[in-house]
């Protein structure tokens, strides 16, 4: 069976829309492929759960044995995944909502924050920026936002935890606009201050959507819709305040404009309480109505691959040794055009060689499941993908190559040495492999020599992972020696002379030939830059 099939709300009254085989362009049009960017603890997991719950309840409500809103725990979802054909995994959550098929790609965060976190954003068509109402923009959100901006990924903003005391709504809007230059255009406005979340003023209809609390948000919060007059009677001052503030927004031009949103000048904004499942349906509606569907993807030639051209995809993530029983590599590829069918033989653009997709999978958490069909916007997992690298293109019939995914600003640096010099060959092979996978960047310099490459990573956990893999996968136990640099800039190779004489700085070469200047910190960099005005120092994507 296939977990890539998404069943519609009325599955028991006949097949949902996705079961009817569609053409690639038509299927693409109803895909919404996005990721949530947030700082740890803003509520990403809770929101993900709330979204899934919504999808499920909508499905159950239409089912013959409708038992809407009873379950809501993680273990139930695994059950749901099995029973309902919804794929809920650690990597991608796919579900049906209204006529749309939603693909929510996970951006690894917390301790496993890594280059992968960024790369996922190369595979989405939009992002949801989730903020904690009490905290506003936090560092990790800012980094991820920069990656979205560089990749031209349009953003919907959700202010979460409105059920708890937090900042003033207008203050949050100002903070977003002044910090990142993105103008929020609220879709709805909270009725009741943070900590007293009564409902939402729908700015498009002027109506009041009143929420009712359920125990712990285990079910979709029931909502009632009232006309403004009724709302005023019900909520008094809280409603009047919301109306006044909403009018203020209108006067300041903070209304939705689709082109400005797609151009990443503005961001539709919603208020929510993920834990109580308030405002989550509104987010789903906005995703369906406003978020972009997959579009023809630019190629290295400068043209675009049309959605109904023959199958094509690009690899945005490669994961090794996930399944301890079968130590293999899985490549995650996003479909860009055509219809993918399991068993297809596709061409690997980098080598020109055929790649067999007999073992294609829907993405998996603990369990793997076979995937049969996928359309533009969907993600496929390719097993035994030893030849596939991040950024690689795959195609059928008509050759295509998509641009490389940029590498991101490392902020952690560590020298790696073989414990046993006698195993240098194994050591070198391992380093090469890690470099190719791109989870760490491998930097070298004449000064340090080949035996002591410097690993550079977006998050420090990659060093632990790398050391573990060097020992267990490549039989080369290593020593790691962290360096104190925190910042990298792209520079010219001939800057080596200048930088080698200065304390708190160093020049190293990445294997793709890019010269990186490393600095202890921003201040050291700024001082050096002032003293050497000719020095090229270009920021990397996602960097401070």
Which amino acids are annotated as binding site, given as ranges? 106-110
User: Considering only residues 22, 40, 504, 539, which one is a binding residue for ligand G4P as defined by CB under 6 A?
Assistant: 40
- Establish if 43 lies at the interface with ligand G4P (CB under 6 A): yes
Q: How big is the site for ligand G4P, counted in residues (CB under 6 A)?
A: 15
Stretch that binds ligand G4P, among 256-264, 269-277, 342-350, 490-498 (CB under 6 A): 269-277
Question: How many helices and strands (H and E) does the chain possess?
Answer: 14, 31
- Establish if 134 lies at the interface with ligand G4P (CB under 6 A): no
- Establish if 108 lies at the interface with ligand G4P (CB under 6 A): no
Looking at the DSSP bridge assignments, the partners of residue 21 are none
CB of 92 to ligand G4P, least distance (A): 16
Beta strands, E only, 408-453: 412-418, 441-444
Quote the radius of gyration of the chain (alpha carbons, Å): 25
Is residue 461 within 8 Å of 111, Cβ to Cβ?
yes
Q: Which of residues 64-93 bind ligand G4P (CB under 6 A)?
A: none
CB nearer to ligand G4P: give 163 or 506: 163
The two structure tokens encoding residue 483:
């360096």
- Establish if 41 lies at the interface with ligand G4P (CB under 6 A): yes
- Establish if 157 lies at the interface with ligand G4P (CB under 6 A): no
Nearest residue to 370 (alpha-carbon basis) of 343, 346, 402, 390: 343
CB nearer to ligand G4P: give 35 or 274: 274
- Establish if 38 lies at the interface with ligand G4P (CB under 6 A): yes
Question: Distance between CA 103 and CA 378 in Å, rounded?
Answer: 7
Distances (CA, A) of 291 to 149, 240, 263, 340, 427: 16, 30, 12, 23, 46
- Establish if 107 lies at the interface with ligand G4P (CB under 6 A): no
Is residue 29 within 8 Å of 100, Cβ to Cβ?
no
CB of 41 to ligand G4P, least distance (A): 4
Q: Which residue is nearest to ligand G4P (CB)?
A: 43
Q: Which residue stretches of 220-375 are H helix? A: 228-235, 237-251, 258-262, 280-289
CB nearer to ligand G4P: give 116 or 506: 116
Stretch that binds ligand G4P, among 143-151, 156-164, 437-445, 480-488 (CB under 6 A): 156-164
Stretch that binds ligand G4P, among 59-67, 88-96, 272-280, 402-410 (CB under 6 A): 272-280
- Establish if 42 lies at the interface with ligand G4P (CB under 6 A): yes
- Establish if 333 lies at the interface with ligand G4P (CB under 6 A): no
Is residue 451 within 8 Å of 414, Cβ to Cβ?
no
- Establish if 140 lies at the interface with ligand G4P (CB under 6 A): no
Residues 6+ apart with CB under 8 A from 531: none
Residues 6+ apart with CB under 8 A from 285: 98
- Establish if 476 lies at the interface with ligand G4P (CB under 6 A): no
User: Considering only residues 82, 98, 149, 164, which one is a binding residue for ligand G4P as defined by CB under 6 A?
Assistant: 164
The two structure tokens encoding residue 140:
């990790």
The two structure tokens encoding residue 180:
């990142």
The two structure tokens encoding residue 437:
């996978």
- Establish if 160 lies at the interface with ligand G4P (CB under 6 A): yes
CB of 451 to ligand G4P, least distance (A): 40
The two structure tokens encoding residue 422:
């006698």
Question: Distance between CA 217 and CA 220 in Å, rounded?
Answer: 7
- Establish if 273 lies at the interface with ligand G4P (CB under 6 A): yes
User: Considering only residues 6, 8, 31, 46, which one is a binding residue for ligand G4P as defined by CB under 6 A?
Assistant: 46
Looking at the DSSP bridge assignments, the partners of residue 505 are 519
- Contacts with ligand G4P by CB under 6 A lie at 38, 40-46, 160-161, 163-164, 273-275
């Amino acid at each position: 069976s296939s977990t890539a099939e998404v069943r519609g709300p009325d599955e028991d009254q006949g097949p949902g829309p996705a079961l009817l085989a569609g053409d690639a362009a038509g299927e693409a049009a109803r895909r919404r492929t996005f990721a949530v960017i947030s700082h740890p603890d803003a509520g990403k997991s809770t929101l993900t759960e709330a979204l899934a719950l919504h999808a499920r309840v909508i499905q159950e409500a239409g089912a013959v044995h409708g038992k809407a809103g009873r379950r809501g725990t993680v273990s139930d979802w695994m059950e749901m995944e099995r029973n309902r054909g919804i794929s809920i995994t650690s990597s991608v959550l796919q579900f049906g909502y209204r006529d749309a098929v939603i693909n929510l790609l996970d951006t690894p965060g917390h301790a496993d924050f890594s280059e992968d976190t960024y790369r996922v954003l190369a595979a989405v068509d939009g992002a949801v920026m989730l903020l904690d109402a009490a905290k506003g923009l936090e560092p990790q959100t800012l980094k991820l936002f920069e990656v979205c901006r560089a990749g031209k990924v349009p953003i919907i903003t959700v202010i979460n935890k409105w059920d708890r005391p937090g900042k003033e709504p207008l203050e949050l809007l100002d903070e977003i606009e002044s910090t990142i230059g993105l103008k929020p255009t609220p879709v709805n406005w909270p009725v009741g201050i943070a900590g007293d979340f009564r409902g939402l003023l729908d700015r498009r209809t002027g109506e009041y959507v009143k929420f009712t609390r359920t125990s712990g948000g285990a079910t979709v919060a029931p909502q009632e819709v009232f006309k403004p007059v009724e709302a005023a009677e019900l909520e008094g001052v809280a409603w009047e305040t919301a109306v006044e503030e909403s009018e203020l927004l209108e006067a300041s031009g903070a209304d939705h404009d689709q082109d400005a949103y797609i151009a990443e000048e503005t961001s539709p904004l919603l208020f929510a309480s993920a834990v109580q499942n308030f405002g989550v349906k509104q987010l789903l509606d906005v995703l369906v109505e406003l978020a972009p569907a997959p579009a023809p993807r630019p190629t290295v030639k400068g043209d675009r691959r049309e959605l109904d051209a023959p199958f094509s995809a690009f690899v945005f993530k490669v994961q090794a040794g996930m399944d301890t029983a079968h130590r293999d590599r899985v490549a995650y590829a996003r479909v860009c055009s055509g219809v993918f069918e399991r068993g297809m033989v596709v061409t690997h653009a980098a080598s020109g060689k055929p790649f067999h997709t007999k073992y294609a999978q829907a993405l998996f958490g603990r369990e793997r499941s076979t995937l049969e069909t996928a359309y533009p916007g969907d993600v496929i997992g390719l097993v035994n993908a030893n030849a596939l690298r991040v950024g690689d293109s795959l195609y059928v019939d008509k050759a295509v190559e998509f641009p490389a995914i940029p590498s991101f600003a490392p902020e952690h640096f560590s020298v790696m040495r073989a414990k046993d010099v006698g195993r240098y060959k194994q050591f070198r092979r391992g380093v090469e492999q890690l470099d190719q996978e791109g989870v760490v960047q491998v930097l070298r310099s004449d000064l340090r020599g080949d035996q002591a490459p410097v690993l550079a990573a977006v998050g420090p956990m990659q060093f632990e992972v790398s050391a573990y893999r060097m020992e267990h996968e490549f039989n080369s136990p290593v020593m790691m020696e962290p360096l104190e640099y925190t910042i990298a800039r792209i520079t010219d190779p001939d800057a080596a002379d200048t930088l080698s004489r200065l304390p708190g700085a160093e020049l190293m070469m990445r294997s793709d030939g890019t010269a990186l200047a490393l600095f202890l910190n921003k201040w050291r960099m700024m001082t050096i830059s002032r003293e050497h005005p000719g020095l090229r120092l270009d920021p990397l994507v996602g960097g401070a």
